[in-house]
Copies of this chain bind each other. A is one copy, B any other.
């Protein structure tokens, strides 16, 4: 893949484009689209075998994309519809039962705005595990037993983020981990419109270029759902992508950039508001899903 992106839907778009067809069938890739209340477009990509995995450069599993128009600085109504749609999609991957033990992880660095989605979201999720520790709780209550953890980044802790997460998991003993993280996209517009849900695990710190441990169901023995929002764009991606219809020799252009160009990562100028609005939407979507007895 020429383009750096964390979004399965962008890999699919690139593949479609390179193959000159609107929407091509790929063996090992199932695609389904949906729509929620005139506000949210949903694309469910399921990679079912190694062939599909290789074509889309992503592990086997589910990748659900929500595209929301005008979420940033938009009305509370749009944000509530987005949270409802997110909750409906989460319920496809999560089997809720009363007292479900969930550990919510907020990846990233709360001091760097484009990397702060995870910490901000976890701060807004309803954490309940300590009530279960401290009081007798009515098991009929439709709430989950939720812990929250903000591990920080290696540059601030000096420790492997994956190790810290595993430690928290040993304390909270969750049946399910939900990790929230900032992502990279190739299309700047996605910064203020897109949420991706996947069930293939996480590799904390991958965005910083450090090789990192994979955290997923096979390494942890616990299902790991990742929820991400694109917050950064690689400038090489940005450049090649914007001129893709113009350049006669894109490979030459890329080689030229590699030799002469920047490898800077950039972000949107309204990133403060993006983080505020999307952390609201994601925390809400999680609260509705895990605590139906309180939030619905």
Tell me if A171 counts as interface (CB < 8 A to partner B): yes
Tell me if A38 counts as interface (CB < 8 A to partner B): no
Interchain CA distance A233-B256 in the complex, whole Å: 21
Q: Chain B CB within 10 Å — which of A150, A159, A189 has the most?
A: A159
Interchain CA distance A238-B234 in the complex, whole Å: 12
Which single member of B133, B147, B242, B252 contacts A257 (CB below 8 Å)? B242
Chain B neighbourhood of A267, CB < 8 A? 266-269, 271
Rounded to whole Å, the gap between the CB of A147 and the closest CB of chain B is 4
Q: Which of A133-173 contact B (CB under 8 A)?
A: 133, 145-150, 152, 154-160, 163-164, 167-168, 170-172
Chain B neighbourhood of A243, CB < 8 A? 239, 243, 253, 256-257, 261
Q: Which of A73-121 contact B (CB under 8 A)?
A: 111-115
Chain B neighbourhood of A55, CB < 8 A? none
Main secondary structure of the interface of A (DSSP, over half): helix
Tell me if A264 counts as interface (CB < 8 A to partner B): yes
Which single member of B115, B158, B235, B257 contacts A172 (CB below 8 Å)? B158
Given A239-B242, A242-B262 in contact, is the A158-B130 Cβ separation under 8 Å?
yes
Which single member of B111, B145, B170, B268 contacts A272 (CB below 8 Å)? B111
Q: Which of A14-72 contact B (CB under 8 A)?
A: none
Tell me if A270 counts as interface (CB < 8 A to partner B): yes
Tell me if A4 counts as interface (CB < 8 A to partner B): no
Given A150-B152, A235-B188, A269-B112 in contact, is the A127-B157 Cβ separation under 8 Å?
yes
* Complex: chain B residue closest to A272, CB-CB: B113
Q: Chain B CB within 10 Å — which of A170, A245, A261 has the most?
A: A261
Question: Chain A interface (Cβ within 8 Å of chain B)?
Answer: 111-115, 122-123, 127-130, 133, 145-150, 152, 154-160, 163-164, 167-168, 170-172, 188-189, 232-233, 235, 238-239, 242-243, 245-246, 252-253, 256-257, 260-262, 264-273
Seed contacts A159-B168, A159-B172; 15 additional CB < 8 Å A-B pairs? A112-B269, A112-B272, A114-B269, A148-B156, A150-B152, A158-B172, A167-B168, A188-B235, A188-B266, A233-B266, A239-B243, A242-B257, A243-B261, A246-B252, A246-B256
